[in-house]
A = this chain, B = another copy of it.
Amino acid sequence: MAALQFQLQHNDSQSKARAGKIITDHGEISTPIFMPVGTVGSVKAVTQQQLADDVKAQIILGNTYHLYLRPGLEVLEAAGGLHKFMNWQKPILTDSGGYQVFSLTGTRKLTEEGAIFQSHIDGSKHLFSPEKVIDIQRIIGGDIIMAFDECPPGGSEYDYAKISMELTHRWLDRCFNRFNTTDNKYGYTQNLFPIVQGGTHHELRKISCEYVSSMGATGNAIGGLSVGEPTEKMYEICEFCCNNLPVNRPRYLMGVGTPWNILECIALGVDMFDCVMPTRNGRNAMLFTSNGVINIDNKKWEKDFSAIDEGIVCEISNYYSKAYLRHLIKSKEILGLQIASIHNLAFYLDIVTKARKHISDGDFVQWKNEMSVRWQQRL
């Protein structure tokens, strides 16, 4: 049982892309990697078997805010942690709940101590502080746990972003203090990743990268992006952060994004991604495929009996036709949500698997540029 290790295996000569391997007590993860979001202990509409066999997920994400409210810590602790509760034996990352506290709850109050919020389920009041969020994540038992941060809205002014970042940094100290004085609960080693903030301001991002780097964590995250700023600005700040974070630690860009966003950010040096887009958009009839974006709701697919996507290795994507999936979605059949979710997730995992191969083969940038155009086409 050991702390997370990161081995760099290939560096792309034409970009900052890299291929590597993360080693955790629940197994290895090939990077770059995409992590399906398992909000409340379930990747929506996908069984753990399908997640392993069809999607080929290597690590999934759990949401601390949701899991804390339901099923709650008592149940999770009695189960022996989230891995056992959901019977998923590969690595899990949990977020800190900060993002949900600031986006999902109606009334909330931010203080130096933490954030007081009301549950979106029953209106009950709760406090998330840096210490509490570490304690909660100790109980949930993710292999990678995240520091509690404030995520300011996209486009925040310098002064607001600075004040927010400084609070995040003070909270970061408290997170690491708590983390370093508490034990792993279930025998395997947990790892705390700090999060860079600072909005769209280079000066603040630089300070935050330095602060985060000084923690000497086993991995580092870039937060506060893809929250409303223009895509080019997102790339710019992502690149800046990658250049100012340790080379020999995995870099996790939180909450990004489309397939072409992921390609670009891999080229900037990001190793880990998560996003609800494949599952959420899938449930809303939007498919990402090897040939472009499909709105499967559209009448043009009514008699298209070709497979959803022959361009990836996924039994579900290869087995069901566009016409059948369209019919299921139009008929509001649950199976439609399952197939669309599994396909989109499998496509995302296929992206990072292929990216990794092209990084090793030395033709990543050329491939990325071609795919980026192709995948953005509206079919």
Binding site for B on A (CB under 8 A): 40-49, 70-71, 74-75, 78-79, 84-87, 302-303, 305, 315-316, 319-321, 323-324, 327-328, 330-331, 333-339
Q: Is the CB of A331 within 8 A of B87?
A: no
Known contacts A42-B335, A323-B79, A331-B40: A47-B87 contact under CB 8 Å: no
Q: How far is the CA of A327 from the CA of B76 in the complex (A)?
A: 11
Question: In this complex, what residue of B is CB-closest to A328?
Answer: B42
Q: Is the CB of B49 within 8 A of A320?
A: no
Q: Is the CB of B87 within 8 A of A324?
A: yes
Partner of A87, one of B43, B44, B75, B319: B319
Q: Is the CB of B324 within 8 A of A85?
A: yes
Question: In this complex, what residue of B is CB-closest to A77?
Answer: B303
Q: Shortest beta-carbon distance, A287 to chain B, in Å?
A: 17
Q: How far is the CA of A42 from the CA of B337 in the complex (A)?
A: 12
Q: Is the CB of B327 within 8 A of A334?
A: no
Which residues on the B side are within 8 Å of A86 (C-beta)?
324
Which residues on the B side are within 8 Å of A339 (C-beta)?
47
Known: A49-B316, A70-B331. 17 other contacts (CB 8 A): A41-B331, A42-B328, A45-B335, A47-B335, A49-B319, A70-B330, A71-B323, A71-B327, A75-B303, A75-B323, A78-B305, A79-B303, A79-B305, A79-B321, A334-B334, A334-B338, A338-B338
Question: In this complex, what residue of B is CB-closest to A307?
Answer: B87
Question: In this complex, what residue of B is CB-closest to A330?
Answer: B70
Q: How far is the CA of A79 from the CA of B322 in the complex (A)?
A: 11
Q: Is the CB of A44 within 8 A of B75?
A: no
| A-B contact list, 30 entries, CB within 8 Å | A40-B333, A42-B328, A42-B333, A42-B336, A44-B334, A45-B335, A47-B316, A47-B338, A47-B339, A48-B319, A49-B315, A49-B316, A70-B330, A70-B331, A71-B330, A71-B331, A74-B303, A75-B323, A78-B305, A79-B305, A79-B321, A84-B305, A85-B305, A85-B323, A86-B324, A87-B321, A334-B334, A334-B337, A334-B338, A338-B338
Interface of A is mostly: helix
Question: In this complex, what residue of B is CB-closest to A338?
Answer: B47
Q: Is the CB of A338 within 8 A of B45?
A: yes
Which residues on the B side are within 8 Å of A42 (C-beta)?
328, 331, 333-336
Question: In this complex, what residue of B is CB-closest to A320?
Answer: B87
Q: How far is the CA of A372 from the CA of B16 in the complex (A)?
A: 66
Q: Shortest beta-carbon distance, A59 to chain B, in Å?
A: 18
Q: How far is the CA of A260 from the CA of B333 in the complex (A)?
A: 29
Q: How far is the CA of A303 from the CA of B84 in the complex (A)?
A: 12
